[in-house]
Structure 1
Amino acid sequence: MNNLNEHYRVLLGLDESWTVSDVDLQLEDNSVVIELSHRGGPLTCPECQGSCGKADTAPPRSWRHLDTMQFKTEIRAAVPRCRCARCGVKTVAVPWAGKHSRFTLMFEAFGIRVLQAAANVSRAAALLDLNWESVHTLIERAVARGIDRRTLDEIKHVGIDEKSLGKGHDYVSVLTDQDHRRVLDVTKDRTIMATDELWQTLSETQRNAVESVSLDMWQAFMTSTSKNAPGAEIVHDKFHVSKYLNEAVDKVRRREHRELKSEGDERLTGLRQLLLYNEENLDEDGQVEMQILQKSDLRTGRAWAIKENFRHFWLSADSESAGEFFRSWYGWAIRSRLEPIKTVARMLKRHLPGLLSYFRHHVTNGLAEGFNSKIQSIKSAARGFRSFANYRLRILFYCGRLNLLPEIPCH
């Protein structure tokens, strides 16, 4: 027995049915090709696991393996095909690779870890010396494997949020499991039909076990949720409310800024970002700026004060005291004569039950907002996605907390 061949047989963890017949070092292209041969004997049907005889041998094929030092390494073998009385002629399974894979299990596992560490597919592809299509296949197989292994029991709190697909108004809807901090699935668009599809990720029994759903005030999300998880309470959280109030303040600022500038008054110049901050997050200069604004007679200062005051709603002891606070705040907002603020106040009043349910569940879409940041990084690294399917795969790969690695048999 060639010592080098036996050395590689042990390293590859081959069982007794396979042997290394040759190791070919190809210096011209810095590669090593390991030839494997089947020893013969009874074969196992890959479908029913029954014992059967040999039909013929498939043409030789190659699998990318872990590099041997600086040398790119491939395994090459002609795999026997069995004749099964039940399943017909089938190519037998090989112990070093999964079905229809062009990579060995060890290389797949390594590639997945590189992708997870790099968080940038182009850089990972360069490190692995793979083209984009091969990396995409690796991700696709990993996600399919992870979804097949995933359990969806004991999910009580979920979130639904939107994320832009590319430029313009193309969106995807994202379902998150807040109990286990993972993305469950992604659908294209943010319609009732798309949200219905998202809910089908869970069985009827699992949907009936959901207690709360944290989501935006987008009507399609609410309609679909009421239909698919009728026992769950809809919770509107502070992240979305803060977004709406900040947008209202900015509308007031923009209109007033145009009016002031036409008269040569620059008091609102440079305040756009400052107005987005919560009061306690302002630095010393920012606090001075806002104190000056509050003492002025500007509409923007009143709008910011109303926005800031609403944050006390979330500090209420319970839903009853929160309801009392809202009634007082709502009166202030409606009497403000600031139309953008009044519009948001009326919207919040229409959705008050969803705001008050926060005090029963104390869940927010903060997890979804956190995933939004990660998803944005994924999109930026890819310079956008033209394909929804690819976008979904990447989100599930990086945010799904899936068990992605292949099982490598021990011998």
Structure 2
Amino acid sequence: MDVCEMMGEHLGLVPPWKATEFWSEPNARGELDDHLRVEVPPGSCMPCPQCGRMCRIHDRTPERAWRSLDVVSRRLYIHARIPRTDCPDCGVRRADVPWARPHSHFTLSMESMIMAMCREMAVSAAAALIHEDANRIWRLVRHSARKLVEGMDLSHVTAVGVDEKCFSGHDAFVTVFADIVRHRVLFVTPGKGSGAVGEFRDFLTEHGGRAANIADFTCDFGAAYVSGIGRYFKRARITFDRFHLVKLANDAMNDVNFGKMKLAVNRMKVKYMMVRNSGSLTDGEKELRDRICEDNEELGHAYRLKESLVSVYSMGDADIARDHLLGWVSWAGRSGFRPFARLAKTVEANIEGILRWFSTGMSNALLEGTNSLISLIKRRARGFKRVENLIAVCYLTGARGKVDLYGAPR
């Protein structure tokens, strides 16, 4: 077997395609690149790319090249003049090539490798590693994300989580929707609020889902999400995320003005210790916490309010939890702490959604993990100039499993 035959097998060539020439030449950096010419012999017939009918060849396009997987640390380029078929029914059409998709600069196997790299590192780093232009890689990333989204079947989706993530600065956000049951990203869109929920409803319908099939939503306490879900998913029940309730309790405690305090340790250490789960504190930290609360009566009062609210999730059932929450609302309203008084109104207004956790067990833990992944993506890329690029990478990295999304031959 000569080199051309071996490389033809490597590309998966089938008749009438045939590898006819292999050579090496230096590139602009002085490194040797390998080149393979692929041809269709004169007089051959090819299937029409539109109807599949075998047709004679009308003419050939000018020669072009595709970057393929490196061979023995050398870049490999495939060269070919693509035949155009003369179909009696469809007219003159450019034939498909078996090693690349239309208009791509890379072979299918090279695209698959690039996308695997972009799921694990910044696009700029991947481009530098393979000595390619980053803009060309970004076009491939956006194409692959579109292909992934187009292939989604959302007919099975019944439970959805929604959360937003800051994209740039303090006023640019993306909203992420995820399948709580199957643990996968469903939809990412710029902006936040009820409008994003409406966009998700349209996206769901376009991909085989139905708003009537969505039985459960989990989200934070934002009024925009609550109103959007009520408007676009009328049958869905909302379970408020337990972690957001814990965050609201911690924020309320931190917002209380305690004035001058008597502290045995650094103030920031006290703040960190007070917001931690009490079950994760060491015996020494618990002793220090109790001493600080005894020395600072208002701080101790606020801490007990926070811990009492958080403890609702350790209750045996929803009825016990309801009585506990109603008692807490009364206590917080009379505490004299404005942040806790405001939180008490929030809890009272959303008590049914909080208690629904006892029947659904749903939370936004998956979304928080996705937000952490988005933060990692932003850090790796050192920021994004275009929100479309961030969304494309979110779809790729959030895809379930390491499936081949890019059409490379197996």
Normalising by the residue count of structure 2, what TM-score does the alignment of the two structures yield?
0.92
Q: Percent identity?
A: 26
1:36 Cα shift? 0.8
Q: Report what 2:23 is aligned to.
A: 24
Give 2:132's match in structure 1, choosing from 106, 122, 130. Answer: 130
- Please give the root-mean-square deviation of Cα atoms over the aligned residues, in Å: 2.1
The reply to whether residue 68 of structure 1 matches residue 71 of structure 2 is yes
1:89 maps to 2:99: no
Amino acid in structure 1 at the alignment position of 2:405 = L
1:217 counterpart = 2:209: no
Whether 1:173 and 2:171 are equivalent positions in the alignment is no
The one of 243, 255, 262 aligned to 1:251: 255
Question: How far does residue 86 in structure 1 lie from its aligned partner after superposition?
Answer: 4.0
1:77 is matched with: 80
Q: Name the SS of the counterpart of 1:272 in structure 2.
A: helix
Write the mapping of 1:151-190 to structure 2, written as runs, cut at 5 A.
151-190=153-192
> Aligned-pair distance for 1:303?
1.3
Summarize the alignment of residues 7-406 of structure 1 with structure 2, pairs less than 5 Å apart. 7-27=6-26, 28-40=30-42, 41-116=44-119, 118-203=120-205, 205-252=209-256, 255-256=257-258, 259-260=259-260, 269-270=267-268, 271-401=270-400, 403-406=403-406
Please give the secondary structure, in 1, of the residue aligned with 2:260. helix
CA shift at 1:338, angstroms? 0.8
Secondary structure in structure 2 of the residue aligned to 1:312: helix
SS in 1 for 2:267: coil
Residues 347 and 14 (structure 1), Cα distance of their counterparts in 2 relative to 1, 3 Å cut: same
Q: 61-70 vs 84-93, which deviates more?
A: 84-93
Task: Indicate the SS of the match to 1:55.
Answer: strand
Deviation, structure 1 residue 372: 0.9
Per-residue displacement from partner, 1:250-278 (whole Å, max 9, x unpaired)?
A: 111xx22xx317xx978772322222201
Look up the SS of the partner of 2:279 in the other structure.
helix
> 1:180 offset after TM fit, Å?
1.1
SS at match of 2:210: helix
Q: Distance in 2 between matches of 1:88 and 1:312?
A: 73
Alpha-carbon distance in structure 2 between the residues aligned to 1:209 and 1:194? 19
Flag the 1:308–1:268 CA change in 2: closer, same or farther, 3 A: farther
**How many positions carry a matched residue from both structures?**
402
Q: Distance in 1 between matches of 2:108 and 2:396?
A: 18
Counterpart CA distance in 2 for 1:234 and 1:335 is: 29
Kindly indicate whether the alpha-carbon contact (under 8 Å) linking 2:197 and 2:232 is maintained by their aligned counterparts in 1: no
- Mapped partners of 2:89, 2:173: distance in 1: 48
- The answer to whether the 8 Å contact 1:207/1:229 transfers is yes
Output the amino acid matched with 1:158: V
Distance (Å, rounded) in 2 between the aligned partners of 1:299 and 1:38: 85
Deviation by residue 1:352-400 (Cα, 9 ceiling, x = unmatched): 1211221221100111011111111001111122211111101111013
Secondary structure of 1:53 counterpart: strand
Which amino acid is the alignment partner of residue 301 of structure 1?
Answer: G
List, as ranges, runs of 4+ consecutive aligned residues in structure 1 with deviation greater than 4 Å.
264-268
1:269 corresponds to which letter in structure 2? R
Q: What amino acid is the match of 1:144?
A: R
TM-score under structure 1 normalisation? 0.92
Name the CA distance, whole Å, in 1 between partners of 2:284 and 2:136: 53
Tell me the CA shift for residue 409 of structure 1.
4.5
Q: Secondary structure at the match of 2:18?
A: strand
1:114 deviation in Å? Answer: 2.3
SS at match of 1:200: helix
Q: CA deviation at 1:8?
A: 1.5
What is the distance in 2 between the residues matched to 1:164 and 1:408?
A: 34
Q: Distance in 1 between matches of 2:226 and 2:246?
A: 19
